[in-house]
Amino acid sequence: MRGNTTPADNVKTMSITSIAQKLYFVHRQRDLEKHLTLGAEMQRHVLKSLLERAEDTEYGRNHAFSAIKDYETFCLDVPVNDYESLKQDIDRMRRGEKDILWPGQVKWYAKSSGTTNDKSKFIPVSHDGLQGIHYAGGTDSVAFYLMNNPASRIFDGRALILGGSHQSNYNIHGSLVGDLSAILIENINPLANLVRVPKKKTALLSDFEVKRERIAQETVNKNVTNISGVPSWMLSVLLRVLEISGKNTIDEVWPNLEVFFHGGIAFTPYRKQYEQLIPSAKMHYEETYNASEGFFGIQSDPADKSMLLMLDYDVFYEFIPMDEFGSEKPTIVPIWGVEKGKNYAMLISTSCGLWRYVIGDTVQFTSTNPYKFIITGRTKHFINAFGEELIVDNAEQGLAYACLETGAEVSEYTAAPVFMDGNAKCRHQWLIEFAKEPEDINRFATLLDKKLQEINSDYEAKRYKDITLQPLEIVKAKQGLFHTWLKQRGKLGGQHKVPRLSNTREHIEQLLKLNSTSRTLRSQTQEG
For 243-272, the pLDDT digits (tens) are: 999 999 999 999 999 999 999 877 876 788
Nearest partner of 415 among 465, 466, 454, 469, judged by Cα: 469
Nearest partner of 399 among 451, 350, 356, judged by Cα: 451
| Contact (Cβ atoms closer than 8 angstroms) between residue 360 and residue 380 | yes
Lowest-confidence region among 73-82, 123-132, 157-166: 157-166
User: 9 pLDDT exceeds 80?
Assistant: no
Lowest-confidence region among 95-99, 207-211, 310-314, 430-434: 207-211
Q: Which comes out higher in pLDDT, residue 190 or 519?
A: 190
Q: Which comes out higher in pLDDT, residue 487 or 360?
A: 360
At 117 the pLDDT is 54
Amino acid at 158: R
Mean pLDDT of the 144-157 span? 95
Q: How confident is the model at residue 347 (pLDDT cuts 50, 70, 90)?
A: very high
Q: How confident is the model at residue 5 (pLDDT cuts 50, 70, 90)?
A: very low
Residue 232's Cβ-count burial label (10 Å; 0-12, 13-18, 19+) is buried
Nearest partner of 291 among 220, 358, 193, judged by Cα: 358
At 493 the pLDDT is 47
DSSP state of 83: H
At 126 the pLDDT is 98
Locate all alpha helices (DSSP H) within 188-278, ordered by sequence: 200-203, 208-219, 231-245, 250-253, 268-277
Q: What is the pTM of this model?
A: 0.78
Amino acid at 253: V
At 422 the pLDDT is 62
On whether residue 420 sits in a domain, the answer given is yes
Q: Compute how many other C-beta atoms are within 10 angstroms of the C-beta atom of residue 436.
A: 11
On whether residue 428 sits in a domain, the answer given is yes
Mean pLDDT of the 74-79 span? 97
Mean pLDDT of the 276-295 span? 95
Lowest-confidence region among 96-105, 135-144, 305-314, 519-528: 519-528
On whether residue 310 sits in a domain, the answer given is no
Q: Which helix (H) or strand (E) holds 247?
A: none
Residue 262's Cβ-count burial label (10 Å; 0-12, 13-18, 19+) is buried
Percent of the chain's residues with pLDDT above 70: 91
Report the length, in residues, of the chain: 528
Radius of gyration of the chain (CA): 24
Q: How confident is the model at residue 424 (pLDDT cuts 50, 70, 90)?
A: low
User: 158 pLDDT exceeds 70?
Assistant: yes
Nearest partner of 43 among 319, 360, 314, 292, judged by Cα: 314
At 491 the pLDDT is 65
At 164 the pLDDT is 83
Q: Cα 416 vs. chain centroid, distance in angstroms?
A: 18
| Contact (Cβ atoms closer than 8 angstroms) between residue 290 and residue 137 | yes
- Tell me how far apart the alpha carbons of residues 517 and 241 are, in angstroms, rounded to a whole number: 42
Q: What is the mean pLDDT of the chain?
A: 89
User: 4 pLDDT exceeds 70?
Assistant: no
Query: Which tens digit of pLDDT belongs to each residue from 37-69?
Result: 999 999 999 999 999 999 999 999 999 999 999
Q: How confident is the model at residue 396 (pLDDT cuts 50, 70, 90)?
A: confident
On whether residue 433 sits in a domain, the answer given is yes
On whether residue 16 sits in a domain, the answer given is no
451: phi then psi, degrees, rounded to nearest 5:
-65, -40
Q: Which comes out higher in pLDDT, residue 12 or 204?
A: 204
Lowest-confidence region among 153-167, 234-248, 419-433, 469-483: 419-433
Q: Which helix (H) or strand (E) holds 368?
A: strand 357-368
User: 312 pLDDT exceeds 80?
Assistant: yes
Nearest partner of 294 among 315, 321, 312, judged by Cα: 315
User: 518 pLDDT exceeds 70?
Assistant: no
DSSP-assigned states of every residue in 278-345: ---TT-EEEEEEEETTEEEEE---TT--SEEE--SSSEEEEEEETTTTTSSS---EEGGG--BT-EEE
On whether residue 63 sits in a domain, the answer given is no
DSSP state of 501: B
- Tell me how far apart the alpha carbons of residues 139 and 141 are, in angstroms, rounded to a whole number: 5
DSSP state of 472: P
Task: Write out the residue range of the structural domain in which residue 471 sits.
Answer: 382-522
Lowest-confidence region among 5-14, 56-65, 302-311, 471-480: 5-14
Give the CA distances from residue 191 to residues 137, 143, 178, 188, 195, in Å, rounded to whole numbers and listed in that order.
Answer: 18, 18, 23, 8, 8
| Contact (Cβ atoms closer than 8 angstroms) between residue 288 and residue 141 | yes
At 43 the pLDDT is 98
On whether residue 335 sits in a domain, the answer given is no
Locate all alpha helices (DSSP H) within 381-439, ordered by sequence: 392-406
- Tell me how far apart the alpha carbons of residues 346 and 359 are, in angstroms, rounded to a whole number: 6
Number of domains in the chain: 1
3-state secondary structure 105-171: CCCEEEEEECCCCCCEEEEEECHHHHHHHHHHHHHHHHHHHHHHCCCCCHHHCEEEECCCCEEECCC
Query: Which tens digit of pLDDT belongs to each residue from 213-236?
Result: 999 999 999 999 999 998 878 988
Lowest-confidence region among 144-153, 422-431, 444-453: 422-431
On whether residue 113 sits in a domain, the answer given is no
- Tell me how far apart the alpha carbons of residues 108 and 166 are, in angstroms, rounded to a whole number: 10
Amino acid at 235: L
- Tell me how far apart the alpha carbons of residues 309 and 289 are, in angstroms, rounded to a whole number: 9
User: 526 pLDDT exceeds 70?
Assistant: no
At 384 the pLDDT is 86
Nearest partner of 394 among 452, 467, 317, 466, judged by Cα: 452
Mean pLDDT of the 201-206 span? 90
